[in-house]
Structure 1
Amino acid sequence: MRHVATGDRNAYDRCIFHVLDHTGRALLIAGLGVYPNTGVIDAYATLRLGDRLHAVRASDALSDDRLALTVGPLSITVDRPLERLRLRCDADPADPGGLSCDLEWHAAFPAVWEPHHTQYRGGRLTLEGRRFVQAGTCTGTVRAAGEELAVTAGEWTGTRDRSWGVRPIPGEDGGRAAEEARPEGFHWIWCPVRFDDRFVMVIVQEDADGHRTLNEALLVRDGVPDVQLGWPYADITYRAGTRQPERAVLHLTDPARKPLELAAEILTSSPLAVGAGYPPADDWQHGTWRGRGWTDRRTYDLGDPAAHPLAAYGVTDHAARFTLEGRTGYGIFEHGSFGRHDPSGFTGYGDTAPARPDAPQPRPAAPQPREDRS
């Protein structure tokens, strides 16, 4: 689209890919976004390999050709819509051993609509987005630090998400709302999981009181109608002194009211505020104008969490192994919990899980639906 139906500077259209190996050795995250009312197109790729996060980011002026999904060394090619896509990150000629990839993504299940997502700051609508999500497999190669990883369908999983609408871009004066309407808390779970014969999608967003503003639990299989899996709630075991999960159980319910447990074991993690351009990153964020032909490559050390203090206030994507009724699957446990969250026992922005490893972890009670208070 050359023109969008709003003059809001925060209009966007963006996608994200997650490519993870089943041992937890590597997690590749890549995305591309266009921001028509600021005239920007940008993209990124990050690879978590051991304690190193390799990142490539690029930004440029948005052209009139909206089918040209290329920014600097990063590109996405749609070979068959919703079925087969190609993701590339070209190597730096000056550093051929740095991060690069050439991957083909294949859909394993149909795309699934996610709930209509809205969010307000004070009386203003600051986020309004439509999304779909899809799970599949990937094949190809990933290179970084002089090492080549062979990506195969049986040992790697690939998920992707596409969203569009209005979403905050840095650079706008927050005005009164930024000072007087700061949220007391935010709690988020976004969880696409691929099993051999099914795809499960779980989404939870709650405020400080535990009031739920976004909810989804869906089972997808080929050839049969999608099945809703009730009102999900989570038991999350956090690493002591943090809000970083080590494992979790998502409690679901089938249509016959049979309880189901989707258990997640974290394999490796990638904070989106480090390298990938998500808030509150302090070196680059999506949609910001960096001039024509901007490209940045760098490597972050994730071995020392204290080196990236802002990451604790951004969402982290965790590659995870999942189990459900004897089946094993793989996917992403995306989680962020900031500020007060009464169901988890967190009292404010400085609060974390108990410091003693043997101390009991906060156990969320099952929240109940309530009328929207906005």
Structure 2
Amino acid sequence: MKPVPLDELPVHQAPLSMARVASTDKNFYDRYYFNAHDRTGERFLVLGLGIYPNLGVIDAFATVRSGDRQWAVRFSDAYEAGTLRTEVGGFRIEVIEPLQKLRVVCEHESLSFDLVWEGSFPATLEERHILDAGPRSILDATRFAQVGSWSGSLTFDGDELLVDPGTWMGSRDRSWGIRPVGDADPAGRLGEEPTGGHWWTYAPLRFDDYSLLVIVQESPDGHRTLNHATRAFADGRVEQLGWPRIEITYRSGTREPESARLHLTTSDGAPLVVDVQTLGSVSLTVGAGYGGDPEWQHGQWKGRDWSSATEYDLTDPGIVGRLPYSTVDHIARVTCEGSVGYGLFEHAVMGRHDPSGFTGWLDLAP
């Protein structure tokens, strides 16, 4: 193996060339995720770019929902190790000011945009995210999150929209580590001894004076395996908010959260209650390439210089029937102590979850 340009810089974290990552796990990944909306729930854009060094793949996606229609574009190519490449096909990310300002561009006839992200509060480093399946950790990752605003333009369905930072906002994250990517691993023992369920809530929320980040992951019996609740201020202070308790009202006949209440605790022991109303949503299994998307999965080898585009009718029974088995990103309108904010309420309740009253994979909310 030859040295690569990054080896010139003092950035090494292991006794390896920067052409290699320390883990040999095929599922090592390094990813950007963003969402954008105009606070109405009428339009919702979700996008991301990922690098999979041990698979030799770089890919990206963008999907926008308006009403019951959704447009998605995907790009994939070979990844050349040891570079700072954040561009694939017609999609690219430019880091203008690390942890604060980025530009994201997508050029495709079905969906295009030229957007600049500006962080509203400092990025928050999350607790390490680990998810076990039997004897193995299938997810072991680090991530930081941030809320912010957008400016630029967005074009889909033949219409160009001006993206005004006074209206358009969203959240983003950067994560890296191990998670299922590319072609599925053999089921092995887990094919006969499945975990039975997964419950997940992820909520980066923005108010005028601070941002909140709440993360809860639980096993089917309600045992908590990830817990994070913090409030970040513009001056860099981060306040821990205890052990969150979450009440969710599911829409009848679905597993979709209609509203939620987050019970937090300030550093002096006072209760802090956040009420959540969900607006528009995007399922990460529809066009976005996350687990369960039947068209394309992150990290899959699709050949060099590959792209695709799809328009979806979200009333299609085949898509509706997929939702109870997917992670869904919801635009959230939130209130806390009289203040109104907006953000992301990402939620999944797959299979059994005793505290929510779900007993298996098929039952829905009454």
CA contact 2:201–2:345 (8 Å) conserved in 1: yes
Gaps of 5+ in 2: 1-17
Residue equivalent to 1:359: none
Q: What amino acid is the match of 1:46? A: T
Query: RMSD of the alignment, in Å?
Result: 1.3
Counterpart Cα distance in 2 of 1:152 and 1:318 = 21
**Structure 1 residue identity aligned to 2:170:** G
Give the TM-score taking structure 2 as reference length. Answer: 0.92
Q: How far is the alpha carbon of 1:320 from its aligned partner?
A: 1.2
1:56 match: secondary structure: strand
CA distance in 2, matches of 1:253, 1:301: 42
Instruction: Provide the residue aligned with 2:10 in structure 1.
Output: none
Per-residue CA deviations over 1:295-330 (Å, capped at 9, x if unaligned) read 001111113454343332110000111111111111
- Structure 2 residue 226 is matched with structure 1 residue 214: yes
Secondary structure at the residue paired with 2:195?
A: coil
Other-structure match for 2:204: 192
Report how far residue 53 of structure 1 moved. Answer: 0.9
> In 1, Cα distance between the equivalents of 2:278 and 2:185?
38
Distance 2:330 2:302 in 1: 29
Deviation at 1:224, TM superposition (A): 5.2
CA distance in structure 2 between the partners assigned to 1:246 and 1:176 by the alignment? 37
* Contact 1:274/1:308 (8 A) holds in 2: no
SS of the equivalent of 2:35 reads: strand
Give the Cα separation in 2 of the matches to 1:158 and 1:346.
Answer: 31
Deviations 1:42-99 (A, max 9, x none): 000000111111101010000235322111111101011111100111132xxxxx31
**Does residue 57 in structure 1 map to residue 69 in structure 2?**
no
Q: For residues 145-184 of structure 1, what are the structure 2 equivalents within 5 Å?
A: 145-184=157-196
Distance 1:172 1:335, change over 3 A: closer
Match of 2:326 among 295, 314, 324: 314
Give the secondary-structure state (helix, strand or coil) at the position aligned to 2:323.
Answer: helix
Q: What is the CA deviation profile of residues 249-287 of structure 1, one whole-angstrom value per residue up to 9, with x for unaligned ones? A: 111111222222111111101000000001111110100
CA–CA separation in structure 1 for the residues paired with 2:251 and 2:187: 36
Q: State the identity as a percent.
A: 49
- Give the Cα–Cα distance (whole angstroms) in 2 for the partners of residues 206 and 78 of structure 1: 34
Among 327, 337, 359, the residue aligned to 1:325: 337
Match of 1:136 among 144, 148, 151: 148
SS of 2:190 mapped into structure 1: helix
- Whether 1:293 and 2:310 are equivalent positions in the alignment is no
- Residues 237 and 247 in structure 1, CA contact (< 8 A), matched pair in contact too: yes
Contact 2:182/2:301 (8 A) holds in 1 = no
- More displaced stretch, 254-263 vs 136-145: 254-263
The partner residue of 1:40 within 57, 68, 79 is 57
Could you tell me which of 117, 122, 128 is aligned with 1:116?
Answer: 128
Contact 1:274–1:311, Cα closer than 8 Å, also in 2: no
| Corresponding residue for residue 358 of structure 1 | none
Aligned to 2:38: 21
1:90 aligned onto 2:125: no
Aligned to 2:7: none
SS at match of 1:208: coil
Q: Does 1:245 align with 2:261?
A: no
Of stretches 16-25 and 64-73 in structure 1, the one that deviates more from structure 2 is 64-73
Do 2:20 and 2:81's aligned partners in 1 also have CA atoms closer than 8 Å?
Answer: no
Structure 1: tracts of 5 or more residues without a match: 93-97, 355-374
Q: Where does residue 12 of structure 1 map in the other structure?
A: 29
Residue in structure 2 matched with residue 368 of structure 1 by the alignment: none
* TM-score w.r.t. length of structure 1: 0.91
Q: Which residue of 1 aligns with 2:356?
A: 344
Contact 2:20/2:82, CA 8 A, preserved across alignment = no
Q: Deviations over 1:345-371 (max 9, x none)?
A: 1111111100xxxxxxxxxxxxxxxxx
* Contact kept in structure 1, 2:134 and 2:195, CA below 8 Å: no
Worse-matched range after superposition: 177-186 or 205-214? 177-186
Distance in structure 1 (CA, Å) of the matches to 2:108 and 2:60 = 15
Change (3 A) 1:224 1:11: closer
Deviations 1:118-171, CA, capped at 9 Å, x for gaps: 122221222110110011111011111011221111111121101001111242
What amino acid is the match of 1:313? Y
- CA distance in 2: counterparts of 1:44 and 1:258, whole angstroms: 42
Residue 188 of structure 2 aligns to a residue in which SS? helix
1:256 corresponds to which of 268, 271, 276: 268
Q: Secondary structure at the match of 2:322?
A: helix
Query: How many residues align structurally?
Result: 349
